[in-house]
């Protein structure tokens, strides 16, 4: 028996050394080989932490529960609270709301009568700061953040200071004070980069910062912090949940760059691990799979959106855009209108929806709704002034002007939007602007410039594998000429075509002349037969 005890002691010392060296997987294995009765409360908490970093979430929760009881039995309530807090957070992250709330309530009860410390601030960060930010209440979140900062200063606690300042930055940015808010986020990340915080809080702050940049549409800043986060992640086990969470943000950036097939493959590979640890990120991964499929014209995009919805995420605007692509603009308009109503007064969430609403409302013939969405998006871009929002707003304004026959006014806006999208690395959005530019130039009689822009759009769509590339028209017909030809095949008059496409009768006549020359037709009847023969009829 003595030899066994000595062996356990040697193993325990080795496990402790491995944990101190942050060799988490080896530490988790070492702790797991020891008789649990020989583990102290501190050892149990360390074993739980090592299990979490190794991706063993069930073991982590179980061991933390044992550690909590051991700390409480040893009259160490503050340590018991710290462990209970993490268990609550892990349950909430898995979508287990009742268990999470129960553990957080247990933590608060254990904390009664304890002197003010770090755990008070961490509880506030979850129940006051993050909860208010998620609910779109930046003023309340800001108040809590400053309370945490004050506590951090009084305790000289770098973790609370970092959490509080990061929260203050996110709250300020959400409330429209973007420059000041982002400056605070950057300030905290400098502290993180210096290695002054524990690994868990380092990962949390990376996630908060990258997610905030994504929500704000600050693509450049998001890319910078994602790349730095990945450098840090190279020092932790690949099984760590932070690795999968950061990978979701990498997928978001791949989507911007048009790397859709790679994005889908990466996102799909993350879902199993995220379902076990972070259902909110699993939902985002499924949504990104849906987006990658929709943009490439794949029929199973709807299934991915349904999976995202099953995990609590409203799959908009992607789902509505899928309805539009399927030829149901009315249904798409209804879906997105409902999504905007559900978004309430959350300006950043509404901005993404408004961007899609412009195209959907125009297709549905709801021009006032398109104009309203463009105006709201413009107001958001002015308020937040980030690169992504400014590009979206310029695109929306130019598109609405073009629909109202104001091609000369639309041109500079669409040109500016196109340049912005190229600068952000989003060739797909730039190509969509090229389509608008082609239409604007065409309506101004500049056929050469129109052809150049249309060819550029088509080249990008083909290179990216976009659904639009499969609609490549025969005999050099432009996308707009295909639309006119489709309406001719449906028996529409010039006036009816103009009303459907929001262009003048004179512009319709010019398009018909160009179409006849390209396809060798001399009458509407011949043009209609051509549309049917080339499967253009009914494709609008």
Q: Where are the domains of the chain?
A: 237-314, 473-540
Residue 504 — pLDDT band, cuts 50, 70, 90? confident
What pLDDT sits at residue 315?
Answer: 97
| pLDDT higher than threshold 50 for residue 232 | yes
Instruction: List pLDDT tens digits, range 367-394.
Output: 999 999 999 999 999 999 999 999 999 9
Alpha-carbon span 181 to 484, nearest angstrom: 49
| Mean pLDDT in residue range 340-360 | 95
Q: How many CA atoms lie within 13 A of 211 on its CB side?
A: 21
pLDDT band at 537 (very low <50, low <70, confident <90, very high): low
Which pLDDT belongs to residue 499? 73
Which residue is it, tokens 């190279």?
A: 234
What pLDDT sits at residue 539?
45
Dist. CA 387–CA 406, nearest whole Å: 25
Q: Does domain 473-540 have CATH number 1.10.10.10?
A: yes
Residues in Cβ contact with 177 at an 8 Å cutoff, skipping those fewer than 6 apart: none
8 A C-beta contact, residue 162 and residue 184: no
Q: Architecture of 237-314 per CATH?
A: Alpha Horseshoe (1.25)
| Mean pLDDT calculated for residue range 257-263 | 96
pTM reported for the whole predicted model: 0.84
Spatial distance between the Cα atoms of 287 and 351, rounded to a whole number of angstroms = 18
Spatial separation of the C-alpha atoms in residues 198 and 206, rounded to whole Å: 12
- Mean pLDDT on 254-279: 95
Q: Check: CB of residue 383 under 8 Å from CB of residue 416.
A: no
pLDDT tier for residue 508 given thresholds of 50, 70 and 90: confident
Pseudo-torsion of CA 173, 188, 80, 142, nearest 10°?
-30
CA distance 470 to 472: 5
Write down how long the chain is.
Answer: 540
Quote the DSSP letter at residue 125.
I
* pLDDT value for 536: 66
pLDDT tens digits, residue range 421-455?
999 999 999 999 999 999 899 889 888 898 889 88
DSSP-derived 3-state class of residue 197: coil
Quote the DSSP letter at residue 501.
Answer: H
The string of DSSP codes covering 15-63 is: HHHHHHTT-HHHHHHHHHTS-GGG--HHHHHHHHHHHHHTT-HHHHHHH
Residue with tokens 């929001």: 502
pLDDT tops 60 at residue 165: yes
Considering only CA atoms, which of 310, 361, 306 is closest in space to residue 335?
361
Please check the confidence at residue 540 and state whether its pLDDT lies above 50.
Answer: no
- Residue of 88, 43, 50 lying closest to 67 (CA atoms): 43
Q: What is the mean pLDDT of the chain?
A: 92
| Helices marked H in 424-464 | 427-443, 447-464
Give residue 192's pLDDT. Answer: 92
The answer to whether residue 5 scores a pLDDT higher than 80 is no
Contacts of 506 (CB under 8 A, 6+ apart): none
């Amino acid at each position: 028996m003595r030899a066994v005890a000595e062996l356990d002691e040697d193993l325990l010392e080795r496990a402790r050394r491995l944990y101190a060296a942050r060799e988490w997987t080896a530490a988790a294995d070492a702790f797991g080989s020891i008789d649990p009765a020989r583990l102290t409360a501190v050892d149990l908490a360390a074993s739980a932490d090592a299990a979490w970093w190794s991706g063993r979430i069930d073991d982590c929760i179980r061991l933390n529960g044992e550690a909590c009881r051991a700390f409480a039995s040893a009259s160490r309530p503050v340590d018991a609270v710290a462990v209970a807090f993490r268990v609550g957070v892990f349950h909430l992250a898995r979508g287990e709301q009742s268990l999470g709330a129960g553990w957080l309530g247990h933590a608060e009860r254990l904390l009664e009568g304890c002197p003010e410390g770090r755990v008070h601030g961490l509880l506030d960060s979850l129940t006051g700061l993050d909860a208010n930010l998620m609910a779109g209440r930046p003023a309340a979140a800001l108040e809590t953040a400053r309370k945490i900062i004050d506590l951090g200063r009084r305790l000289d606690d770098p973790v609370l200071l970092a959490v509080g300042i990061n929260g203050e930055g996110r709250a300020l940015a959400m409330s429209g004070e973007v420059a000041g808010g982002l400056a605070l986020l950057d300030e905290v990340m400098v502290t993180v980069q210096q290695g002054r915080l524990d690994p868990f809080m380092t990962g949390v702050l990376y996630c908060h910062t990258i997610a905030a940049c994504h929500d704000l549409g600050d693509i450049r800043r998001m890319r910078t912090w994602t790349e730095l986060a990945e450098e840090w992640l190279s020092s932790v086990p690949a099984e760590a949940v932070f690795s999968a969470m950061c990978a979701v943000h990498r997928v978001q950036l791949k989507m911007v760059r048009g790397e859709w097939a790679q994005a889908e493959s990466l996102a799909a590979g993350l879902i199993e691990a995220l379902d076990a640890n972070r259902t909110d990120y699993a939902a985002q991964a499924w949504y990104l799979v849906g987006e990658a499929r929709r943009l490439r014209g794949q029929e199973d995009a709807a299934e991915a959106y349904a999976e995202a919805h099953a995990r609590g995420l409203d799959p908009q605007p992607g789902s509505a855009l899928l309805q539009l692509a399927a030829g149901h603009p009315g249904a798409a308009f209804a879906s997105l209108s409902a999504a905007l109503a559900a978004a309430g007064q959350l300006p950043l969430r509404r901005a993404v929806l408004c961007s899609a609403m412009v195209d959907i409302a125009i297709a549905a013939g709801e021009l006032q709704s398109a104009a309203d969405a463009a105006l709201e998006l413009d107001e958001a871009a002015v308020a937040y002034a980030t690169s992504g929002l400014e590009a979206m707003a310029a695109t929306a304004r130019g598109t609405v002007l073009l629909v109202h026959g104001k091609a000369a006014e639309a041109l500079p806006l669409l040109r500016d939007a196109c340049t912005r999208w190229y600068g952000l690395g989003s060739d797909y959005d730039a190509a969509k602007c090229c389509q608008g530019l082609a239409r604007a130039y065409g309506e101004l009689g500049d056929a050469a410039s129109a052809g150049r822009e249309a060819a550029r759009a088509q080249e990008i769509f083909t290179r990216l594998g976009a659904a639009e590339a499969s609609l490549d028209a025969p005999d050099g017909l432009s996308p707009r000429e295909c639309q006119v030809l489709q309406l001719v095949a449906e028996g529409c008059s010039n006036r009816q075509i103009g009303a459907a496409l929001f262009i003048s009768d004179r512009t319709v006549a010019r398009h018909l002349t160009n179409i006849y020359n390209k396809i060798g037709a001399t009458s509407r009847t011949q043009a209609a037969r051509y549309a049917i023969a080339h499967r253009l009829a009914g494709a609008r």
